[in-house]
Every structure is written in C-alpha cells, then in structure tokens.
Amino acid sequence: MATARRGAWLMGALTTNAALRPILTAAETRAAEEAVFATGVTVIEAMETAGAAVAEAAWRYAGPVPTLVVCGPGNNGGDGYVIARLLRDRGVRVRVAASGEPRTDAARVNADRWGGPVEPLAEAKPGRLLIDALFGTGLARALDPAVAGPLERLAKGAEWRVAVDVPSGIGTDDGALLGPEISYELTVALAVLKPAHLLQPAAGLMGRLVVADIGIPGRSMLHEIARPHLPAPGPRDHKYTRGQVVVVEGAMPGAALLTAMAAQRGGAGYVTLAGNGEGGPAAIVRREGSLEDILADNRVGAVAIGPGLGRDQAGADQLRRAIESAKPLILDADALVLLADHGLSARGMPVMTPHEGEFKKLFGDLPGSKVDRARAAAASAQAVVVLKGADTVVAAPDGRAAIGRPAPGWLASAGTGDVLAGLIAANRARGLDPFDAACAGIWLHSRAAELAGPGLIADDLVNHLAQALGECM
C-alpha cells in the first residue's frame, strides 16, 4: 500500500508522547477501511501490508522458529496466508492450517500466492510458534466448537502464541470471551486499537500489544488514556496558580488524608483538609469549622469529597454543603452512596469515580459494554464518570470516552481509590477540564503503581507520584 509504512509498529507499553491513540469499534474499523478502499487502494494491497506488519512483528519476537499459521475463511485468514508466505521467504519453516476454504476474493488470491499445503485445522499438529489468523475484528457470537477445540489444543501445544488483530474468540467491542481462554504472548492490532485490546477480560490475554500502521487512519470519540503533558511550574507561578484543593474529612480521616497527600504530590500548590483529624505532612493545612466558610474562598479550584466521609446524616450534610458551594467536585466512595441514598445531584460537571458496586447503585444494571455503560451514566448524570477497575473507563456527557491501560492487579488494595480521587482533584484544580483531569489522574495512578511494584499499598502510590509526575513534564 503506497500510503503505508510496511512493517511499521509501535510498542504498546508506556507511550513516548502524549498523542491519543484512537480505539475503534468493529463498525468504525470497517468504515475506515471502506474509506481507504474508496481512494483506490485494493483489499489485496491492504492485506499484503497487514500481513507484512505481522510477519515482521512475529519475526522480531520469536525469530526463525517452526511456525503454524491458522487461517479462517475471511480476510483475517487472508492476512494469515500473507504472513505464512513472507515468513517462508525469510527461511522460516511454516505450515498452514485452515478451518475451511477461503470465502472472500482477496483471501482466495493470497491462499493461491501461498501455494503450499493447507492442513485441516482439526488434524493439524502444533508448531513452536502459533499465529492465530482465524477470526479478527467483528466476531460477535460464540466460536464454533469445531474451531474452538482445535485452536485450544494447538495453543496449548505451542511455546509462543501471536494473535492477528484480535485473538479468535474475543468480542471486539466489549472484550467478552466467546471462545476458549487462551493467553497470547503478542497481539498485533491492525491499524488501530479495538475496545477488546483494553477491556477485561480480553485485555488480560493479549500479552504484549503492538499497533501496526497499515495506512488506515482511525478517528473516534474513544481513545486510549495517554501520558498527559503537565508543564512544570514556571517563574510566575505560586501556590494558588498551581491549584488549591480542599479535601473533606469525615468518619474515617485516614482515607481523606490519603486523598490530600495524593493531591499534594500530584501537583496541587495548596491542599486543605477540612475536618478535625490529625497527622499527615506539615504542608497540608488543616481547618476546622464551617465547610461553607472554607469553600467560600474563591481560590479553591477543586473539592474532593467521599473518601472516609461516612454514610450517616453528618456525611450527607457535608455533601450538601459541598454541592451548594458550586465548586468543581470530585465525588468518590461514600459521597456516591449518599448521592444514591438521598437522591442528590451535583451541578457543574462533577467527576464521579465509582467502582462497579457503586456504579450499579447509582445507575442500575445498564446494558452494553463497559464503555457503553459509562457513556450512558455520564449522559444521565451530566458528569464525567470514571468507572474504575483493571480496565478503568472515563466518559463525558458529550460522548468522549477513554480507556486506561491494564492496571497492575496490586491496585486492588484499600485506599488506592482515595489516591486516585486526590490526583483527579489536583489536575482539576490546576485548570484541566473534568474529562482531561480524570484521564491525567488515571494515568498517574497506574504509572505510580508500576513504579511501586508488587506488594504496594496506597501509601506507596503517594511516594512514587513525584517520579510519575516528572515523566509528564
């Protein structure tokens, strides 16, 4: 393809720039492909470019090891025939197995160009490297047992497994398992990311995720959360221009203290704990007395409320006061439960950070993928909704949405959500809009967890935020 860089690929670990990578659904991907084909590029040319990119990635990853390429009947299978031919041209011992005859013109052309033997999938023996080109983008129903069984057997018999675009048996748009649960060492996404690459449970099976540039541009209202660009304070900045955050204490002051410490380490210039708790860094200002008086300060850029607030009447009263202040709000934990229990609603585009249980209490059991549900909730609440988890999704009422990279499982620990609330508050106070503040907080949170490593506790996240923040400047 003239517009493509054959074999170009981008590593999908930590991004090296703040560019947003689009995430396209199956329908959006087909539309993008059709737009390119309308310019005169043929399906066969696109298939050659895609196959070359995957062959290059597999070669770099596994080297010249005996390889079995399994091909489906559609265009994903056509990519597989290209991959097999190009690896063979490099001297790799390649076998091809197919679940059936090619059903598209382009797939038939590339099967002919392969020209070698094609084994029935059910009879094939494993290779050291398995390249899965059975079904890619668009699968929406359970994998046929006649395909699922042999695929699982061949995957178990391989030392390394590489998936073409999306592993077979994965729901492209929701990450659901529609076939056997097979872990891959490498997944080569063609052209753009798909929701399944970042949504669980599928995301946990992808292994190393790379995106192959095959000359098909993607545009979407859904993006991967990228490393934010957060400029360092300049010579004209002072503590208030960097952002003042108020964190409201309640029944469990320790949770609010974590939030305040995260806001401080996350870049806020001034952090106030409203309550009568004790402890914490001397740089955090503690103020007792009326929350109305504390929030009357027009320099307050964000209010975080909910961590450790309590679900009693006292907590509900503090939440009402925070809402009535009309300050930018980050609503977490107990504040979310109180919203649901008391029928309260916040104004001015708050950021709400529910986990799955809190989300269902607030919005009910909504249909669709995690992205669909977050978008529906954001539109309903007129808020930015951060639906937390290993595959955190953030959505805005205008339809914008983003998915975070798979987060370390060690974040499943008490207090880590309190840290996230503080990070979002710091970025909201520094002037980012609610959606961008949420995305920045999610990235910093995940990166701090990577830096903290195994066995982390919430306090460890705070201690690694300075390094994570430094990577954004």
For the residues 326-353, what does the mean pLDDT come to? Answer: 94
* H or E element, residue 186: strand 186-190
Lowest mean pLDDT segment, chosen from 80-84, 345-349, 388-392? 345-349
Distance, C-alpha 296 to centroid of its chain: 37
Q: For residue 137, what pLDDT is reported?
A: 85
Q: What is the reported pTM? A: 0.92
Q: What are the φ and ψ backbone dihedral angles of 119, each rounded to 5 degrees?
A: -85, 150
Decide if 7 contacts 190 (C-beta within 8 A): no
The pLDDT value recorded for residue 19 is 66
CATH ID of 244-470, from 3.40.250.10, 3.20.190.10, 1.10.1060.10, 3.40.1190.20: 3.40.1190.20
pLDDT band at 30 (very low <50, low <70, confident <90, very high): very high
pLDDT at 141: 84
Per-residue burial over 264-293, b = 16 or more CB atoms within 10 Å of its CB, e = otherwise: bbbbbbbbbbbbebeebeeebebeeeebee
Cα-Cα end-to-end distance for the chain: 37
DSSP string, 326-371: T--EEE-THHHHHHHHHT----S--EE---HHHHHHHH-S--S-HH
pLDDT at 236: 94
Query: Can you tell me the distance from the alpha carbon of 125 to that of 153, in angstroms, rounded to the nearest whole number?
Result: 9
Rounded to an integer, what is the distance from CA 388 to the centroid of its chain? 11
DSSP line for 9-39: EEE-SS-SS-PPPBB--HHHHHHHHHHHHTT
Looking at residue 428, its amino acid is R
pLDDT by residue (tens digit) across 178-205?
999 999 999 999 999 999 999 999 999 9
Contact predicate 97/71, CB 8 Å: yes
Q: What is the DSSP string of 208-223?
A: EEEEE--S-----SEE
Give the mean model confidence (pLDDT) for residues 78-87. 98
Please compute the mean of the pLDDT values over residues 42-56 and round it to a whole number. 96
Quote the CA–CA distance of 169 and 167 in Å, as a whole number: 6
CA dist 59 and 91 (Å) reads 11
Q: Domain boundaries in the chain?
A: 9-220, 244-470
If you average pLDDT over every residue of the chain, what do you get? Answer: 93
SS3 442: helix
Which uninterrupted H or E stretch holds 248?
strand 244-248
Q: Decide if pLDDT at 2 tops 60.
A: no
- Is the confidence at residue 250, as pLDDT, over 50? yes
* Section 302-306 average pLDDT: 98
- Please state, in angstroms and rounded to a whole number, the distance separating the CA atoms of residues 445 and 411: 9
Residue 8 is predicted with a pLDDT of: 27
**pLDDT tens-digit readout, 115-129:** 999 999 999 999 999
pLDDT the model gives residue 15: 28
pLDDT band at 280 (very low <50, low <70, confident <90, very high): confident
Confidence (pLDDT) at 145: 95
Residue closest to 58 by CA, chosen among 172, 184, 214, 179: 184
- Does residue 168 surpass a pLDDT of 70? yes
**Predicted confidence (pLDDT) per residue in 416-435, tens digit:** 999 999 999 999 999 999 99
- Model confidence at 341: pLDDT above 70: yes
Residue 129's pLDDT is: 98
User: pLDDT tens digits, residue range 85-137?
Assistant: 999 999 999 999 999 999 999 999 999 999 999 999 999 999 999 999 999 88
pLDDT in tens, 363-380: 999 999 999 999 999 999
Percent pLDDT > 70 in the chain is 96
Instruction: State CA 78 to chain mean position distance.
Output: 29
What does the alpha-carbon distance between residue 180 and residue 153 come to, in Å, rounded to a whole number? 10
Integer Cα distance of 442 and 470 in angstroms: 15
**Average pLDDT of 291-297?**
96
Place of tokens 């106070």: 429
CATH level 3 topology of 9-220: Rossmann fold (3.40.50)
Across the range 62-83, mean pLDDT stands at 96
- C-alpha 292/C-alpha 277 separation (Å) is 18
Q: Using CB atoms within 10 A of its CB, is residue 181 exposed (0-12), middle (13-18) or buried (19+)?
A: middle
Number of H helices, E strands in the chain: 14, 18
